[in-house]
């Protein structure tokens, strides 16, 4: 089935492209979420008429996402979990846990916006990606610990490391 993309979709195409996808993917995901429309003469004409408007809306959303990304960059989330003596978690950290952690520090995200590259099943420092816009992705540090005090200590250590890394680059620019 051929569709016209109304926004950029990773591994599929850019806004305005005509792509061929499996019918189930189009019917169950792209069309209901208004990420694409079917290719017909009427829809092509309608898309061409609204293309400038869609591009300005997309640009505005991207600018808002970049503004939030600047604030969110370098965010650290401390999660307290039960773990064995070897550091293995009893369970794992899910995207829902990360979303609630980001909400606690003042950012509004949904669990569908969070992508965890590798499962978080051990105590320590991990990284997750927050997709604020199809073109704006932010890395967030997740620190898992056995207690709240331990998590706060590790977060403070990580912030100090980040500050030390930024200072030499500022001196090099001066």
Chain segment 106-162, per-residue pLDDT in tens? 888 999 999 999 999 999 889 999 999 888 899 998 989 888 777 778 878 777 777
CATH architecture of 2-50: 3-Layer(aba) Sandwich (3.40)
Secondary-structure class of domain 70-165 per CATH: alpha beta
Confidence bin at 168 (pLDDT 50/70/90)? low
Residue 148 has a pLDDT of 76
Helix (H) or strand (E) holding 120: strand 120-122
- Looking at residues 65-75, what average pLDDT do you find? 89
Domain residues of the chain, as ranges?
A: 2-50, 70-165
Residue 74 has a pLDDT of 81
Dihedrals phi, psi of 10, to nearest 5 degrees: -60, 135
């Amino acid at each position: 089935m051929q569709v016209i993309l109304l926004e950029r979709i990773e591994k599929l195409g850019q806004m305005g492209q005509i792509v061929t996808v499996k019918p189930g993917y189009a019917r169950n995901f792209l069309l209901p979420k208004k990420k694409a429309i079917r290719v017909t003469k009427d829809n092509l004409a309608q898309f061409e008429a609204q293309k400038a408007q869609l591009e300005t809306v997309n640009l505005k959303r991207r600018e808002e996402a970049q503004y939030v990304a600047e604030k969110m960059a370098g965010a650290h989330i401390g999660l307290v979990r039960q773990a064995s003596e070897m550091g293995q978690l009893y369970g794992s950290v899910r995207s829902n846990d990360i979303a609630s952690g980001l909400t606690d520090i003042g950012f509004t995200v949904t669990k569908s916006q969070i992508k965890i590259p590798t499962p978080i099943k051990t105590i320590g420092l991990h990284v997750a990606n927050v997709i604020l816009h199809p073109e704006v992705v932010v890395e967030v540090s997740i620190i898992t610990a056995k207690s709240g005090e331990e998590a706060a200590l590790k977060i403070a250590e990580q912030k100090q490391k980040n500050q030390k890394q930024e200072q030499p680059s500022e001196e090099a620019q001066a």
